[in-house]
Amino acid sequence: MSLIRGIPATRALVAPFAVSALLLAGCGGTDSADGGSGDQGPVTLTINVFGDNFSLPDNRSIYDEYERLNQGVTIVENRGDFSTHHQNLQARLTAGSGAADLELIEVGQIAGFVGQHDKFVDFAGADVDTAEWTAAVLERASSADGGALIGLPTDIGGLAMCYRKDIFEQAGLPTDRDEVSALWPTWQDYVATGDRFGARAPDGVKWFDAGGHLFMGVLGNEEQTYYNEAGDLIVESNPVVRAAWDLATEAIQAGQSAALPEFSPEWNTGFQQGQFATVTCPAWMMGYVQANAPETSGKWDIATIPGGSGNWGGSYVTVPAQGANKDAAVALAKWLTAPEQAIRIFQEIGNFPSQQSTWKTPEVAEFAPPFFGSAPAGEIFPASLADAPVQVTGPQSGVIGNAFADALNSVEQGTDPAAAWEQVMRDIKSAAGDG
Q: Give the residue range(s) of CATH 3.40.190.10 domains in the chain.
A: 4-156+314-365, 160-312+370-432
CATH of domain 4-156+314-365: 3.40.190.10
172 CB burial (10 A radius; 0-12, 13-18, 19+): exposed
List, for residues 383-406, the tens digit of each pLDDT value: 999 888 888 888 888 889 989 999
pTM for the whole structure:
0.83
Mean pLDDT across 181-188: 98
Q: Does domain 160-312+370-432 have CATH number 3.40.47.10?
A: no
Among 159, 169, 265, smallest CA distance to 213 is for: 159
The answer to whether 220 and 413 have CB atoms below 8 angstroms apart is: no
Residue 55: predicted pLDDT? 53
pLDDT in tens, 267-293: 999 999 999 999 999 999 998 899 899
Contacts of 3 (CB under 8 A, 6+ apart): 136, 137, 156, 157, 311, 314, 385, 388, 389, 390, 391
Phi, psi values for residue 143, rounded to 5°: -65, 165
Band of the pLDDT at 116, cuts 50, 70, 90? very high
Q: Residue 53: its pLDDT value, please?
A: 62
Top-confidence residue, 281 or 107: 281
Mean pLDDT of 182-201: 98
| pLDDT of res. 144 | 84
**In whole numbers, what is the pLDDT of the chain averaged over residues?**
87
Q: Name the band, by pLDDT with cuts 50, 70 and 90, for residue 203.
A: very high
Other C-beta atoms closer than 10 Å to the C-beta of 125 total 10
Question: Over the stretch 229-276, which tens digit does the pLDDT of each residue have?
Answer: 888 999 999 999 999 999 999 999 999 999 999 888 999 999 999 999
Which of the two residues, 34 and 122, has the higher pLDDT score?
Answer: 122
pLDDT at site 29: 31
Q: What is the pLDDT of residue 149?
A: 96
Residue 125 is predicted with a pLDDT of 82
How, if at all, do strands 73-80 and 300-304 pair?
Answer: unpaired
Give the model's pLDDT for residue 22.
24
What is residue 68's predicted lDDT score, i.e. its pLDDT? 94
Structure confidence by residue, pLDDT tens digits, 306-336: 999 999 988 999 999 999 999 999 999 999 9
Range with lowest mean pLDDT among 55-69, 109-123, 347-361: 55-69
d(C-alpha 114, C-alpha 129), whole Å: 20
pLDDT at 59 over 70: no
- The pLDDT of residue 39 is 47
Measured in degrees and rounded to the nearest 5, phi and psi for residue 149 equal -120, 110
Question: What is the per-residue pLDDT across 26-50, written as a single tens digit (0 to 9) for each?
Answer: 223 333 333 444 444 699 999 999 8
- In this prediction, residue 205 carries a pLDDT of 98
pLDDT tens, 137-171? 888 899 988 889 999 999 988 999 999 999 999 99
Q: What is the pLDDT of residue 81?
A: 84
212 confidence band (pLDDT: 50, 70, 90): very high
Instruction: Annotate 158-204 with DSSP letters as a single string.
Output: --EEEEEHHHHHHTT---SHHHHHHH-SSHHHHHHHHHHHHHHPPTT
Q: Is the pLDDT of residue 14 over 80?
A: no
What's the angle, vertex CA 323, arms to CA 318 and CA 325, rounded to 5? 95
Q: C-alpha 338: how far from its chain's center?
A: 19
pLDDT of residue 322: 97
**What pLDDT shows up at residue 54?**
60
- Residue 369's pLDDT band, with cuts at 50, 70 and 90, is very high
What single letter denotes the amino acid at residue 343?
Answer: I
Identify the pLDDT of residue 134: 82
pLDDT band of 6, cuts 50, 70, 90: very low
Confidence (pLDDT) at 152: 96
Higher pLDDT, 202 or 109: 202
